[in-house]
Chains A and B, each alone.
Chain A
Protein backbone atom coordinates (compact mmCIF):
# COMPACT_ATOMS: atom_id res chain seq x y z
CA UNK A 1 0.00 0.00 0.00
CA UNK A 2 1.30 3.46 -0.91
CA UNK A 3 0.79 5.88 1.96
CA UNK A 4 2.38 9.09 0.74
CA UNK A 5 0.07 11.27 -1.33
CA UNK A 6 3.01 12.44 -3.46
CA UNK A 7 3.54 8.85 -4.60
CA UNK A 8 -0.10 8.32 -5.63
CA UNK A 9 -1.25 9.19 -9.11
CA UNK A 10 -3.68 7.99 -11.78
CA UNK A 11 -1.54 4.95 -12.47
CA UNK A 12 -1.82 3.65 -8.91
CA UNK A 13 -3.72 0.35 -8.76
CA UNK A 14 -6.56 -0.46 -6.39
CA UNK A 15 -4.30 -2.80 -4.49
CA UNK A 16 -1.76 -0.02 -3.89
CA UNK A 17 -4.14 2.78 -2.93
CA UNK A 18 -4.87 3.39 0.75
CA UNK A 19 -7.93 1.59 2.07
CA UNK A 20 -11.12 3.61 1.58
CA UNK A 21 -9.10 6.55 0.19
CA UNK A 22 -7.82 7.35 3.67
CA UNK A 23 -5.28 10.14 3.70
CA UNK A 24 -2.56 9.13 6.12
CA UNK A 25 -0.59 12.39 6.43
CA UNK A 26 -1.43 16.02 7.16
CA UNK A 27 -1.31 19.06 4.87
CA UNK A 28 -1.56 17.21 1.57
CA UNK A 29 -3.47 20.22 0.23
CA UNK A 30 -0.10 21.95 -0.13
CA UNK A 31 0.32 19.80 -3.22
CA UNK A 32 -2.82 21.18 -4.85
CA UNK A 33 -4.05 24.61 -5.82
CA UNK A 34 -7.54 24.72 -4.38
CA UNK A 35 -8.19 28.44 -4.59
CA UNK A 36 -9.06 28.71 -8.25
CA UNK A 37 -12.83 29.03 -7.84
CA UNK A 38 -12.78 32.20 -5.74
CA UNK A 39 -15.24 34.96 -6.77
CA UNK A 40 -14.23 37.54 -4.13
CA UNK A 41 -10.65 38.31 -3.16
CA UNK A 42 -9.23 39.77 0.05
CA UNK A 43 -6.70 42.56 -0.46
CA UNK A 44 -3.96 43.06 2.13
CA UNK A 45 -3.41 46.76 2.93
CA UNK A 46 -0.01 46.51 4.56
CA UNK A 47 0.24 50.10 5.81
CA UNK A 48 -2.89 49.73 7.98
CA UNK A 49 -1.88 46.36 9.41
CA UNK A 50 -0.73 46.20 13.04
CA UNK A 51 0.04 42.46 12.81
CA UNK A 52 -2.40 41.63 15.55
CA UNK A 53 -2.81 38.19 13.91
CA UNK A 54 -6.60 38.05 14.30
CA UNK A 55 -6.96 37.22 10.62
CA UNK A 56 -4.38 34.44 10.88
CA UNK A 57 -6.38 32.76 13.62
CA UNK A 58 -9.72 33.20 11.89
CA UNK A 59 -8.72 32.07 8.39
CA UNK A 60 -10.38 28.64 7.99
CA UNK A 61 -7.90 27.55 5.33
CA UNK A 62 -4.58 28.66 6.83
CA UNK A 63 -3.99 31.02 3.92
CA UNK A 64 -2.23 33.81 5.78
CA UNK A 65 1.47 33.03 6.13
CA UNK A 66 3.40 34.49 9.05
CA UNK A 67 7.12 35.16 9.17
CA UNK A 68 9.14 36.86 11.94
CA UNK A 69 5.95 37.92 13.77
CA UNK A 70 4.60 39.63 10.65
CA UNK A 71 1.77 38.44 8.51
CA UNK A 72 2.56 38.25 4.81
CA UNK A 73 0.30 38.54 1.77
CA UNK A 74 -2.39 35.89 1.21
CA UNK A 75 -1.70 32.41 -0.15
CA UNK A 76 -4.03 32.68 -3.13
CA UNK A 77 -3.45 29.08 -4.15
CA UNK A 78 -5.63 28.10 -1.24
CA UNK A 79 -7.74 31.14 -0.29
CA UNK A 80 -11.41 30.51 -1.19
CA UNK A 81 -12.46 34.13 -0.75
CA UNK A 82 -14.76 33.56 2.19
CA UNK A 83 -14.20 37.10 3.54
CA UNK A 84 -13.90 36.19 7.21
CA UNK A 85 -10.55 38.00 7.50
CA UNK A 86 -12.08 41.12 5.97
CA UNK A 87 -14.98 40.94 8.39
CA UNK A 88 -12.97 40.50 11.57
CA UNK A 89 -10.00 42.81 10.86
CA UNK A 90 -10.23 45.56 13.53
CA UNK A 91 -8.06 47.99 11.53
CA UNK A 92 -9.65 47.77 8.10
CA UNK A 93 -6.34 46.48 6.83
CA UNK A 94 -8.10 44.02 4.55
CA UNK A 95 -10.33 44.98 1.66
CA UNK A 96 -12.61 42.56 -0.15
CA UNK A 97 -13.11 43.00 -3.88
CA UNK A 98 -14.62 41.19 -6.80
CA UNK A 99 -12.25 38.73 -8.40
CA UNK A 100 -11.14 39.79 -11.85
CA UNK A 101 -9.62 37.26 -14.16
Chain B
Protein backbone atom coordinates (compact mmCIF):
# COMPACT_ATOMS: atom_id res chain seq x y z
CA UNK B 1 0.00 0.00 0.00
CA UNK B 2 1.23 3.44 -0.85
CA UNK B 3 2.07 5.78 1.99
CA UNK B 4 -0.13 8.85 2.31
CA UNK B 5 1.67 11.92 3.57
CA UNK B 6 1.72 15.69 3.27
CA UNK B 7 5.00 17.19 2.22
CA UNK B 8 6.57 20.21 0.62
CA UNK B 9 8.09 19.66 -2.82
CA UNK B 10 11.60 19.92 -1.39
CA UNK B 11 10.83 17.38 1.30
CA UNK B 12 9.28 15.04 -1.24
CA UNK B 13 12.42 15.11 -3.38
CA UNK B 14 14.66 14.68 -0.33
CA UNK B 15 12.63 11.61 0.64
CA UNK B 16 12.93 10.24 -2.91
CA UNK B 17 16.70 10.67 -2.57
CA UNK B 18 16.66 8.93 0.81
CA UNK B 19 14.73 6.01 -0.62
CA UNK B 20 17.15 5.76 -3.55
CA UNK B 21 20.16 5.97 -1.19
CA UNK B 22 22.65 7.34 -3.73
CA UNK B 23 26.40 6.91 -3.25
CA UNK B 24 27.34 10.59 -3.31
CA UNK B 25 25.65 13.94 -2.92
CA UNK B 26 27.57 17.08 -3.77
CA UNK B 27 25.52 20.16 -2.99
CA UNK B 28 25.74 23.79 -1.97
CA UNK B 29 22.78 25.64 -0.46
CA UNK B 30 20.83 28.16 -2.48
CA UNK B 31 17.25 29.33 -2.06
CA UNK B 32 14.76 27.78 -2.78
CA UNK B 33 16.47 24.36 -3.13
CA UNK B 34 18.41 24.61 0.15
CA UNK B 35 16.00 22.37 2.02
CA UNK B 36 16.82 19.38 -0.17
CA UNK B 37 20.47 19.02 0.90
CA UNK B 38 19.41 20.22 4.37
CA UNK B 39 16.91 17.39 4.82
CA UNK B 40 19.27 14.97 3.14
CA UNK B 41 22.25 15.81 5.33
CA UNK B 42 19.94 14.99 8.25
CA UNK B 43 19.39 11.52 6.79
CA UNK B 44 23.16 11.16 6.42
CA UNK B 45 23.78 12.26 10.02
CA UNK B 46 21.10 9.89 11.30
CA UNK B 47 22.56 6.97 9.40
CA UNK B 48 19.40 6.55 7.32
CA UNK B 49 21.44 6.55 4.11
CA UNK B 50 24.96 5.40 3.20
CA UNK B 51 25.58 8.44 1.03
CA UNK B 52 28.86 10.33 1.13
CA UNK B 53 27.65 13.92 1.52
CA UNK B 54 30.29 16.29 0.16
CA UNK B 55 29.81 19.78 1.57
CA UNK B 56 31.45 21.84 -1.14
CA UNK B 57 32.43 25.51 -1.35
CA UNK B 58 30.39 26.35 -4.46
CA UNK B 59 28.00 24.91 -7.01
CA UNK B 60 30.90 24.67 -9.44
CA UNK B 61 32.44 22.23 -6.99
CA UNK B 62 29.11 20.53 -6.34
CA UNK B 63 28.76 19.55 -9.97
CA UNK B 64 32.47 18.72 -10.17
CA UNK B 65 31.99 16.39 -7.21
CA UNK B 66 29.11 14.69 -8.96
CA UNK B 67 31.12 14.34 -12.17
CA UNK B 68 34.09 12.81 -10.35
CA UNK B 69 31.88 10.48 -8.35
CA UNK B 70 29.81 9.35 -11.29
CA UNK B 71 32.94 8.77 -13.41
CA UNK B 72 34.37 6.72 -10.57
CA UNK B 73 31.34 4.46 -10.77
CA UNK B 74 29.14 5.98 -8.07
CA UNK B 75 25.59 7.24 -8.31
CA UNK B 76 25.63 10.98 -7.64
CA UNK B 77 22.90 13.53 -7.00
CA UNK B 78 22.75 17.26 -6.41
CA UNK B 79 20.20 19.99 -5.90
CA UNK B 80 20.37 23.63 -6.87
CA UNK B 81 18.53 26.69 -8.16
CA UNK B 82 19.07 29.75 -10.29
CA UNK B 83 22.50 31.34 -9.95
CA UNK B 84 23.72 28.15 -8.31
CA UNK B 85 23.04 26.32 -11.50
CA UNK B 86 24.57 29.16 -13.45
CA UNK B 87 27.79 28.62 -11.50
CA UNK B 88 27.67 24.95 -12.60
CA UNK B 89 27.41 26.02 -16.20
CA UNK B 90 30.59 24.62 -17.74
CA UNK B 91 30.23 21.43 -15.71
CA UNK B 92 26.70 20.87 -17.01
CA UNK B 93 28.16 20.48 -20.48
CA UNK B 94 30.99 18.29 -19.19
CA UNK B 95 28.60 15.99 -17.30
CA UNK B 96 26.50 15.56 -20.43
CA UNK B 97 29.38 15.15 -22.89
CA UNK B 98 31.16 12.70 -20.58
CA UNK B 99 27.83 10.87 -20.55
CA UNK B 100 27.58 10.74 -16.77
CA UNK B 101 23.99 10.13 -15.65
CA UNK B 102 23.98 12.50 -12.67
CA UNK B 103 20.55 13.39 -11.28
CA UNK B 104 19.86 16.99 -10.31
CA UNK B 105 16.89 18.28 -8.37
CA UNK B 106 16.45 21.74 -9.84
CA UNK B 107 14.15 24.07 -7.99
CA UNK B 108 13.50 26.70 -10.62
CA UNK B 109 14.21 30.28 -9.65
CA UNK B 110 14.76 33.42 -11.70
CA UNK B 111 18.33 34.16 -12.67
CA UNK B 112 19.62 37.52 -11.48
CA UNK B 113 19.20 40.32 -12.15
CA UNK B 114 17.59 42.15 -10.63
CA UNK B 115 18.27 39.67 -7.88
CA UNK B 116 15.12 37.72 -7.14
CA UNK B 117 14.47 34.48 -5.32
CA UNK B 118 11.12 33.54 -6.84
CA UNK B 119 10.13 31.20 -9.56
CA UNK B 120 10.55 31.31 -13.28
CA UNK B 121 12.32 28.94 -15.67
CA UNK B 122 15.18 31.16 -16.80
CA UNK B 123 18.03 28.99 -15.50
CA UNK B 124 16.87 25.65 -16.88
CA UNK B 125 15.72 27.19 -20.15
CA UNK B 126 19.11 28.85 -20.43
CA UNK B 127 20.68 25.41 -19.96
CA UNK B 128 18.43 23.73 -22.49
CA UNK B 129 21.32 23.19 -24.91
CA UNK B 130 23.66 21.70 -22.29
CA UNK B 131 22.71 18.14 -23.20
CA UNK B 132 20.74 17.28 -20.06
CA UNK B 133 17.40 15.54 -20.08
CA UNK B 134 14.89 18.00 -18.61
CA UNK B 135 11.76 16.81 -16.84
CA UNK B 136 9.38 19.37 -15.32
CA UNK B 137 6.88 18.87 -12.51
CA UNK B 138 3.53 20.52 -11.87
CA UNK B 139 3.02 19.32 -8.29
CA UNK B 140 4.92 17.87 -5.34
CA UNK B 141 3.69 14.43 -6.35
CA UNK B 142 5.14 14.89 -9.81
CA UNK B 143 8.44 16.18 -8.41
CA UNK B 144 8.68 13.01 -6.30
CA UNK B 145 7.61 10.68 -9.11
CA UNK B 146 9.85 12.33 -11.69
CA UNK B 147 12.87 12.08 -9.41
CA UNK B 148 12.31 8.34 -8.97
CA UNK B 149 11.96 7.89 -12.73
CA UNK B 150 15.05 9.99 -13.52
CA UNK B 151 17.78 7.43 -12.81
CA UNK B 152 16.33 4.51 -14.80
CA UNK B 153 16.08 6.94 -17.73
CA UNK B 154 19.50 8.56 -17.45
CA UNK B 155 21.38 5.38 -16.55
CA UNK B 156 19.88 3.37 -19.42
CA UNK B 157 22.91 2.03 -21.33
CA UNK B 158 21.68 3.52 -24.60
CA UNK B 159 21.12 6.90 -22.95
CA UNK B 160 23.80 7.65 -20.34
CA UNK B 161 22.78 11.27 -19.92
CA UNK B 162 22.34 13.46 -16.85
CA UNK B 163 18.79 14.35 -15.87
CA UNK B 164 17.46 17.47 -14.21
CA UNK B 165 14.14 17.11 -12.46
CA UNK B 166 12.64 20.58 -12.25
CA UNK B 167 9.96 21.95 -9.98
CA UNK B 168 8.80 25.52 -9.38
CA UNK B 169 10.60 27.38 -6.62
CA UNK B 170 8.38 28.14 -3.60
CA UNK B 171 5.19 27.35 -5.54
CA UNK B 172 5.74 23.62 -5.15
CA UNK B 173 9.09 23.48 -3.31
CA UNK B 174 7.70 25.13 -0.18
CA UNK B 175 3.96 24.50 -0.44
CA UNK B 176 2.78 21.43 1.46
CA UNK B 177 0.51 19.13 -0.51
CA UNK B 178 -0.97 15.70 -0.03
CA UNK B 179 1.28 13.11 -1.56
CA UNK B 180 1.44 9.39 -2.10
CA UNK B 181 4.85 7.89 -1.42
CA UNK B 182 6.11 4.49 -2.42
CA UNK B 183 7.61 2.10 0.09
CA UNK B 184 11.42 2.22 0.33
CA UNK B 185 11.90 -1.29 -1.05
CA UNK B 186 9.67 -0.55 -4.04
CA UNK B 187 11.66 2.59 -4.85
CA UNK B 188 14.95 0.69 -4.53
CA UNK B 189 13.67 -2.11 -6.75
CA UNK B 190 12.35 0.38 -9.31
CA UNK B 191 15.53 2.43 -9.48
CA UNK B 192 17.78 -0.65 -9.31
CA UNK B 193 21.53 -0.75 -8.90
CA UNK B 194 23.81 1.52 -10.90
CA UNK B 195 25.90 -0.78 -13.06
CA UNK B 196 28.00 1.25 -15.49
CA UNK B 197 29.97 -0.74 -18.01
CA UNK B 198 33.18 1.19 -17.41
CA UNK B 199 34.19 3.35 -14.49
CA UNK B 200 37.41 4.71 -13.07
CA UNK B 201 37.52 2.42 -10.02
CA UNK B 202 37.07 -0.75 -12.08
CA UNK B 203 40.60 -2.08 -11.83
CA UNK B 204 40.13 -4.72 -14.52
CA UNK B 205 39.54 -2.02 -17.07
CA UNK B 206 41.85 1.01 -16.95
CA UNK B 207 39.91 4.04 -18.15
CA UNK B 208 40.40 7.70 -18.96
CA UNK B 209 37.30 9.93 -18.92
CA UNK B 210 36.94 13.29 -20.61
CA UNK B 211 40.01 13.39 -22.84
CA UNK B 212 40.80 16.07 -25.38
CA UNK B 213 39.11 15.67 -28.76
CA UNK B 214 40.62 17.51 -31.71
CA UNK B 215 38.47 18.85 -34.54
CA UNK B 216 38.69 15.61 -36.49
CA UNK B 217 36.98 13.76 -33.61
CA UNK B 218 34.86 16.32 -31.71
CA UNK B 219 31.79 16.27 -33.91
CA UNK B 220 31.49 12.49 -33.77
CA UNK B 221 31.07 12.69 -30.00
CA UNK B 222 28.39 15.36 -30.38
CA UNK B 223 26.57 12.98 -32.72
CA UNK B 224 26.72 10.34 -30.01
CA UNK B 225 25.01 12.79 -27.64
CA UNK B 226 22.33 13.48 -30.24
CA UNK B 227 21.73 9.75 -30.60
CA UNK B 228 21.59 9.37 -26.81
CA UNK B 229 18.91 12.08 -26.63
CA UNK B 230 16.98 10.21 -29.33
CA UNK B 231 17.23 6.99 -27.34
CA UNK B 232 16.10 8.89 -24.24
CA UNK B 233 12.64 9.31 -25.78
CA UNK B 234 12.18 5.55 -25.83
CA UNK B 235 13.62 5.16 -22.33
CA UNK B 236 11.35 7.89 -20.93
CA UNK B 237 8.22 6.11 -22.19
CA UNK B 238 9.44 2.68 -21.08
CA UNK B 239 10.16 3.94 -17.57
CA UNK B 240 6.82 5.76 -17.45
CA UNK B 241 5.00 2.55 -18.39
CA UNK B 242 6.79 0.64 -15.62
CA UNK B 243 6.01 3.44 -13.18
CA UNK B 244 2.36 3.40 -14.12
CA UNK B 245 2.23 -0.35 -13.53
CA UNK B 246 3.69 0.24 -10.08
CA UNK B 247 1.71 3.30 -9.01
CA UNK B 248 -1.20 3.77 -11.38
CA UNK B 249 0.10 7.27 -12.14
CA UNK B 250 0.48 7.86 -15.86
CA UNK B 251 3.25 9.98 -17.36
CA UNK B 252 4.34 10.76 -20.90
CA UNK B 253 6.22 13.50 -22.72
CA UNK B 254 3.36 15.82 -21.91
CA UNK B 255 -0.07 15.78 -20.35
CA UNK B 256 -3.10 16.52 -22.50
CA UNK B 257 -5.87 18.17 -20.53
CA UNK B 258 -9.26 18.48 -22.13
CA UNK B 259 -7.65 18.30 -25.56
CA UNK B 260 -10.26 16.09 -27.14
CA UNK B 261 -12.29 18.36 -29.50
CA UNK B 262 -10.41 21.43 -28.19
CA UNK B 263 -10.48 24.35 -30.63
CA UNK B 264 -7.97 26.47 -28.79
CA UNK B 265 -5.15 25.33 -26.52
CA UNK B 266 -2.50 26.60 -24.16
CA UNK B 267 0.93 24.95 -23.95
CA UNK B 268 2.59 25.41 -20.61
CA UNK B 269 5.25 24.01 -18.27
CA UNK B 270 5.22 23.51 -14.51
CA UNK B 271 2.96 24.52 -11.66
CA UNK B 272 1.00 27.18 -13.58
CA UNK B 273 -0.59 24.30 -15.47
CA UNK B 274 -2.69 23.73 -12.37
CA UNK B 275 -4.06 27.27 -12.55
CA UNK B 276 -4.69 26.86 -16.25
CA UNK B 277 -6.58 23.61 -15.64
CA UNK B 278 -8.96 25.45 -13.28
CA UNK B 279 -9.73 27.90 -16.08
CA UNK B 280 -10.18 25.06 -18.56
CA UNK B 281 -12.71 23.44 -16.21
CA UNK B 282 -14.63 26.70 -15.82
CA UNK B 283 -14.70 27.43 -19.53
CA UNK B 284 -15.58 23.85 -20.43
CA UNK B 285 -18.50 24.09 -18.01
CA UNK B 286 -19.60 27.13 -20.02
CA UNK B 287 -19.40 25.06 -23.20
CA UNK B 288 -16.15 26.50 -24.55
CA UNK B 289 -13.85 24.03 -26.27
CA UNK B 290 -10.57 24.87 -24.58
CA UNK B 291 -7.67 22.53 -23.85
CA UNK B 292 -4.21 22.54 -22.36
CA UNK B 293 -0.97 20.66 -22.89
CA UNK B 294 1.53 20.57 -20.06
CA UNK B 295 5.04 19.78 -21.24
CA UNK B 296 6.74 17.33 -18.89
CA UNK B 297 9.79 16.51 -20.99
CA UNK B 298 11.37 19.55 -22.60
CA UNK B 299 14.69 17.86 -23.49
CA UNK B 300 14.48 15.77 -25.56
CA UNK B 301 11.73 17.83 -27.15
CA UNK B 302 8.72 15.71 -28.19
CA UNK B 303 8.37 17.43 -31.53
CA UNK B 304 6.34 14.94 -33.59
CA UNK B 305 4.13 13.97 -30.67
CA UNK B 306 3.32 17.59 -29.87
CA UNK B 307 2.50 18.36 -33.49
CA UNK B 308 0.18 15.36 -33.53
CA UNK B 309 -1.52 16.47 -30.32
CA UNK B 310 -2.13 19.92 -31.82
CA UNK B 311 -3.24 18.71 -35.24
CA UNK B 312 -6.93 19.41 -34.65
CA UNK B 313 -6.49 22.67 -32.75
CA UNK B 314 -7.18 26.00 -34.45
CA UNK B 315 -5.24 28.42 -32.24
CA UNK B 316 -2.44 27.82 -29.74
CA UNK B 317 -0.89 30.04 -27.09
CA UNK B 318 2.52 28.96 -25.82
CA UNK B 319 3.34 30.14 -22.32
CA UNK B 320 7.00 30.83 -21.58
CA UNK B 321 8.16 31.38 -18.00
CA UNK B 322 11.51 32.58 -19.34
CA UNK B 323 12.50 35.42 -21.61
CA UNK B 324 14.97 34.64 -24.38
CA UNK B 325 15.55 38.23 -25.52
CA UNK B 326 15.49 37.18 -29.14
CA UNK B 327 12.51 39.52 -29.55
CA UNK B 328 10.91 36.62 -31.34
CA UNK B 329 9.47 34.52 -28.53
CA UNK B 330 10.50 32.40 -25.58
CA UNK B 331 12.23 29.00 -25.77
CA UNK B 332 9.11 26.83 -25.55
CA UNK B 333 7.40 28.93 -28.19
CA UNK B 334 10.29 28.63 -30.60
CA UNK B 335 10.39 24.84 -30.31
CA UNK B 336 6.61 24.48 -30.45
CA UNK B 337 6.25 26.68 -33.50
CA UNK B 338 9.04 24.73 -35.16
CA UNK B 339 7.20 21.49 -34.35
CA UNK B 340 4.09 22.80 -36.11
CA UNK B 341 5.84 24.02 -39.25
CA UNK B 342 5.74 20.70 -41.11
CA UNK B 343 2.01 20.23 -40.59
CA UNK B 344 -0.30 20.61 -43.52
CA UNK B 345 -2.94 22.51 -41.57
CA UNK B 346 -1.06 24.13 -38.80
CA UNK B 347 -2.85 26.14 -36.14
CA UNK B 348 -2.32 29.83 -35.52
CA UNK B 349 0.17 30.27 -32.71
CA UNK B 350 1.04 33.07 -30.33
CA UNK B 351 3.42 33.36 -27.40
CA UNK B 352 2.97 34.80 -23.93
CA UNK B 353 5.93 35.37 -21.67
CA UNK B 354 4.55 35.28 -18.13
CA UNK B 355 5.37 34.76 -14.48
CA UNK B 356 8.95 36.08 -14.47
CA UNK B 357 10.54 36.40 -11.05
CA UNK B 358 7.51 34.86 -9.35
CA UNK B 359 4.87 37.15 -10.89
CA UNK B 360 1.52 35.48 -10.35
CA UNK B 361 -0.62 34.24 -13.18
CA UNK B 362 -4.24 33.72 -12.27
CA UNK B 363 -7.29 31.98 -13.63
CA UNK B 364 -8.66 35.24 -15.03
CA UNK B 365 -5.38 35.69 -16.95
CA UNK B 366 -5.88 32.30 -18.58
CA UNK B 367 -9.51 33.19 -19.22
CA UNK B 368 -8.31 36.33 -21.00
CA UNK B 369 -5.77 34.35 -23.05
CA UNK B 370 -8.34 31.75 -24.12
CA UNK B 371 -10.66 34.57 -25.19
CA UNK B 372 -7.81 36.07 -27.22
CA UNK B 373 -7.40 32.70 -28.90
CA UNK B 374 -11.12 32.52 -29.71
CA UNK B 375 -10.91 36.00 -31.23
CA UNK B 376 -8.03 34.86 -33.43
CA UNK B 377 -10.00 31.76 -34.38
CA UNK B 378 -13.08 33.79 -35.29
CA UNK B 379 -11.30 36.55 -37.18
CA UNK B 380 -8.38 34.64 -38.66
CA UNK B 381 -6.19 37.53 -37.58
CA UNK B 382 -3.27 36.66 -35.32
CA UNK B 383 -2.07 40.14 -34.52
CA UNK B 384 0.97 40.38 -32.34
CA UNK B 385 2.63 36.98 -32.07
CA UNK B 386 5.10 37.62 -29.28
CA UNK B 387 3.39 38.99 -26.21
CA UNK B 388 3.92 39.46 -22.52
CA UNK B 389 1.31 39.16 -19.84
CA UNK B 390 1.20 40.35 -16.27
CA UNK B 391 3.47 43.38 -16.30
CA UNK B 392 2.60 47.05 -16.02
CA UNK B 393 3.03 49.23 -19.07
CA UNK B 394 2.47 52.89 -19.84
CA UNK B 395 1.97 52.16 -23.50
CA UNK B 396 -1.43 51.50 -24.97
CA UNK B 397 -0.35 48.37 -26.67
CA UNK B 398 -1.89 44.96 -26.73
CA UNK B 399 0.78 43.24 -24.76
CA UNK B 400 -1.52 41.27 -22.57
CA UNK B 401 -3.32 42.56 -19.55
CA UNK B 402 -1.41 44.05 -16.66
CA UNK B 403 -4.07 43.45 -14.08
CA UNK B 404 -7.76 42.83 -13.98
CA UNK B 405 -8.63 46.52 -14.24
CA UNK B 406 -6.16 47.25 -16.92
CA UNK B 407 -7.44 44.37 -18.98
CA UNK B 408 -10.63 46.25 -19.62
CA UNK B 409 -8.74 49.46 -19.91
CA UNK B 410 -6.67 48.12 -22.75
CA UNK B 411 -9.65 46.79 -24.58
CA UNK B 412 -11.39 50.13 -24.36
CA UNK B 413 -8.44 52.08 -25.66
CA UNK B 414 -9.09 53.29 -29.15
CA UNK B 415 -9.07 50.04 -31.02
CA UNK B 416 -5.40 49.40 -30.60
CA UNK B 417 -5.72 45.83 -29.50
CA UNK B 418 -5.79 42.94 -31.88
CA UNK B 419 -9.44 42.19 -31.87
CA UNK B 420 -10.73 45.52 -32.98
CA UNK B 421 -7.64 47.09 -34.47
CA UNK B 422 -6.89 44.30 -36.86
CA UNK B 423 -10.46 43.50 -37.66
CA UNK B 424 -10.89 46.94 -39.07
CA UNK B 425 -7.88 46.52 -41.23
CA UNK B 426 -9.18 44.29 -43.95
CA UNK B 427 -6.96 41.27 -44.09
CA UNK B 428 -3.79 42.44 -42.45
CA UNK B 429 -2.19 39.43 -40.87
CA UNK B 430 0.82 38.36 -38.90
CA UNK B 431 3.28 40.64 -40.55
CA UNK B 432 1.36 43.74 -39.81
CA UNK B 433 0.41 42.44 -36.43
CA UNK B 434 4.06 42.61 -35.43
CA UNK B 435 3.85 46.36 -35.64
CA UNK B 436 1.62 46.34 -32.63
CA UNK B 437 4.67 45.53 -30.62
CA UNK B 438 6.04 48.99 -31.11
CA UNK B 439 2.82 50.48 -29.85
CA UNK B 440 2.15 52.03 -33.23
CA UNK B 441 -1.43 52.03 -34.28
CA UNK B 442 -3.59 51.56 -37.27
CA UNK B 443 -1.79 54.21 -39.27
CA UNK B 444 1.42 52.23 -39.30
CA UNK B 445 -0.41 49.11 -40.15
CA UNK B 446 -1.75 50.78 -43.28
CA UNK B 447 1.77 51.58 -44.34
CA UNK B 448 2.75 47.94 -44.33
Contacts and interface: CB of A to CB of B under 8 A. Distances in A.
A13 B213 CA distance: 14
Query: Interface size bucket, B side?
Result: 20 to 34
B72 to A, nearest CB: 13
A19 B217 contact: no
Contacts of A24: 198, 205-207
A37 interface: no
A12 B220 CA distance: 9
A10 interface: yes
B221 A21 contact: yes
B338 interface: no
A19 B220 CA distance: 10
B160 interface: yes
A19 B216 contact: no
B414 interface: no
A20 B206 contact: no
Given A19-B160, A20-B97, A21-B213, A26 B206 contact: yes
B220 to A, nearest CB: 4
A18 to B, nearest CB: 9
Given A19-B160, A20-B97, A10 B216 contact: yes
A23 interface: yes
A22 B207 contact: yes
A25 interface: yes
Contact of B198 (A10, A17, A22, A26): A22
A14 B224 CA distance: 6
Residue with the greatest number of chain A CB neighbours at <10 A, chosen from B98, B217, B223: B217
A38 B132 CA distance: 39
Interface in A47-90: none
Contacts of B219: 14
Query: Interface size bucket, A side?
Result: 10 to 19
Interface in B57-111: 97-99
Contacts of A28: 208
Contacts of A21: 210-211, 213, 217, 221
User: At the interface, is chain A mostly helix, strand, loop or mixed?
Assistant: loop
Contacts of B213: 21
A34 to B, nearest CB: 11
Contacts of A10: 216-217
Contacts, number: 45
B440 interface: no
A76 to B, nearest CB: 22
A24 B205 CA distance: 7
Contacts of B206: 24-26
A20 B222 CA distance: 9
Nearest to B216: A10
Contacts of A13: 220
A20 B221 contact: yes
Given A10-B216, A22-B198, A24-B198, A17 B224 contact: yes
Residue with the greatest number of chain B CB neighbours at <10 A, chosen from A12, A22, A28: A22
Interface string B206-237: 11111101001101110110010000000000
Contacts of B220: 12-14, 17
Nearest to A9: B216
A35 to B, nearest CB: 16
Nearest to A20: B99
Residue with the greatest number of chain B CB neighbours at <10 A, chosen from A12, A19, A20: A20
Contacts of A23: 207-208, 211
A41 to B, nearest CB: 24
A22 B99 CA distance: 10
A16 to B, nearest CB: 9
A19 B207 contact: no
B207 to A, nearest CB: 6
Interface in A1-47: 10, 12-14, 17, 19-26, 28
A12 B92 CA distance: 27
A10 B210 CA distance: 19
Nearest to B221: A21
Nearest to A23: B208
Given A24-B207, A25-B206, A26-B206, A19 B223 contact: no
Contacts of A26: 206
Given A10-B216, A24-B198, A19 B224 contact: yes
A28 B208 CA distance: 10
A26 B219 CA distance: 24
14 contacts: A12-B220, A14-B219, A14-B220, A17-B220, A20-B98, A20-B210, A21-B217, A22-B198, A22-B209, A22-B211, A23-B207, A24-B205, A24-B206, A28-B208
Interface of B: 97-99, 160, 198, 205-211, 213, 216-217, 219-221, 223-224, 227
Given A20-B160, A22-B198, 5 more contacts: A17-B220, A19-B99, A20-B209, A21-B211, A23-B211
Question: Which 9 pairs of residues, A with B, have the shortest CB-CB distance?
Answer: A14-B220, A23-B208, A14-B223, A26-B206, A20-B99, A10-B216, A20-B98, A21-B213, A17-B220
